[in-house]
Structure 1
Amino acid sequence: MFIETRIQQQAKLDLSGSVAPFELPLPDMPAHVWASPDTLRSRFHLEAARYFECESVLAVTGIESGISALARLFQTWYGAMRVVLAEPSFDQWDKRFRRANHVVLDWPVDLILAGDIPECDVVVLGRPVNPTCQMIGIKQIKPLARRLREQGGWLILDEAYLDWTGEESYASFIEAEPAIVLRSVAPFSGLAGANLAFVCGPKAVCTALLNEVGTQAVSSPQWWLALQYFEAERWREDQLQRLADVCVRLEALWRERLGATVEIYKGGYFISFEHPNNDRWATRLEELGVLVRTYASEACILRCGVPKNEADWLRLGKAIKALDV
Structure 2
Amino acid sequence: MLEHGGRLRLAASEWGIAVESWLDLSTGINPDSWPVPPIPPHLWQRLPEDDDGLLVAAQHYYQAPHILPVAGSQAALQALPALRAPGRVGMFFPSYAEHAHAWEKAGHTVVPLTADAMQLDDIDVLLLIHPNNPTGTRYDSAQLLDWHSQLAARGGWLVADEAYIDVDPMHSLTPYTNRSGLIVMRSLGKFFGLAGARVGFVMAQAELLQRLQAELGPWTIAHPARWLAIQALQDSAWQAYSRAQLGQSTERLAGLLQQHKLAVHGRTALFHWLITPHAARLYQHLAQCGILTRLFTEPVSLRIGLPGTEADWQRLEQGLSTWQR
TM norm structure 2: 0.86
The yes-or-no answer on 1:214 pairing with 2:220 is no
For 1:303 and 1:118, the matched residues in 2 are separated by 33
- For residue 115 of structure 1, report the CA deviation from its aligned partner: 3.2
Query: Which residue is 2:237 aligned to?
Result: 234
- For residue 297 of structure 1, report the CA deviation from its aligned partner: 5.1
Query: Which residue is 1:132 aligned to?
Result: 135
Is 1:307–1:313's contact at 8 Å kept on the other side of the alignment?
yes
The yes-or-no answer on 1:85 pairing with 2:95 is no
User: Which piece of structure 1 moves more, 94-103 or 287-296?
Assistant: 287-296
Is 2:25–2:305's contact at 8 Å kept on the other side of the alignment?
yes
Query: Which residue is 2:65 aligned to?
Result: 55
Query: Which residue is 2:287 aligned to?
Result: 286
Give structure 1 stretches of 5+ with no counterpart. Answer: 1-7
CA deviation vs aligned residue, 1:232-284 (integer Å, no higher than 9, x gap)? 1111111001111111221222112216xx34544222222333322332233
- The AA in structure 2 aligned to 1:81 is G
For 1:245 and 1:266, the matched residues in 2 are separated by 14
- For residue 209 of structure 1, report the CA deviation from its aligned partner: 0.5
- For residue 138 of structure 1, report the CA deviation from its aligned partner: 1.4
User: Helix, strand or coil: the match of 1:323?
Assistant: helix
- Structure 1 residues 283 and 106: CA distance shift in structure 2, 3 A: farther
Is 2:96–2:134's contact at 8 Å kept on the other side of the alignment?
no
Is 2:125–2:151's contact at 8 Å kept on the other side of the alignment?
yes
Is 1:166–1:240's contact at 8 Å kept on the other side of the alignment?
no
Is 2:62–2:174's contact at 8 Å kept on the other side of the alignment?
yes
- For residue 67 of structure 1, report the CA deviation from its aligned partner: 0.6
CA deviation vs aligned residue, 1:74-123 (integer Å, no higher than 9, x gap)? 3xxx2x22111222311111222222222112223x23xx5334612111
For 2:289 and 2:264, the matched residues in 1 are separated by 25
User: Helix, strand or coil: the match of 2:39?
Assistant: coil
For 2:121 and 2:172, the matched residues in 1 are separated by 26
2:36 alignment partner, one of 19, 23, 26: 26
User: Helix, strand or coil: the match of 1:187?
Assistant: coil
For 2:168 and 2:274, the matched residues in 1 are separated by 18
Query: Which residue is 2:164 aligned to?
Result: 161
Give structure 2 stretches of 5+ with no counterpart. Answer: 1-15
Query: Which residue is 1:319 aligned to?
Result: 319
Is 2:198–2:221's contact at 8 Å kept on the other side of the alignment?
no
The yes-or-no answer on 1:193 pairing with 2:196 is yes
- The AA in structure 2 aligned to 1:55 is P
- The AA in structure 2 aligned to 1:256 is Q
Is 2:294–2:303's contact at 8 Å kept on the other side of the alignment?
yes
Alignment of 1:37-116 (within 5 A): 37-38=48-49, 41-74=51-84, 78=85, 80-108=86-114, 110-111=115-116, 115-116=118-119
The yes-or-no answer on 1:256 pairing with 2:221 is no
- Structure 1 residues 81 and 176: CA distance shift in structure 2, 3 A: closer
For 2:105 and 2:301, the matched residues in 1 are separated by 27
For 1:159 and 1:268, the matched residues in 2 are separated by 13
Query: Which residue is 1:151 aligned to?
Result: 154
- The AA in structure 2 aligned to 1:246 is S
Larger radius of gyration: 1
For 1:129 and 1:68, the matched residues in 2 are separated by 18
Tell me the C-alpha RMSD between the 2 structures. 2.2
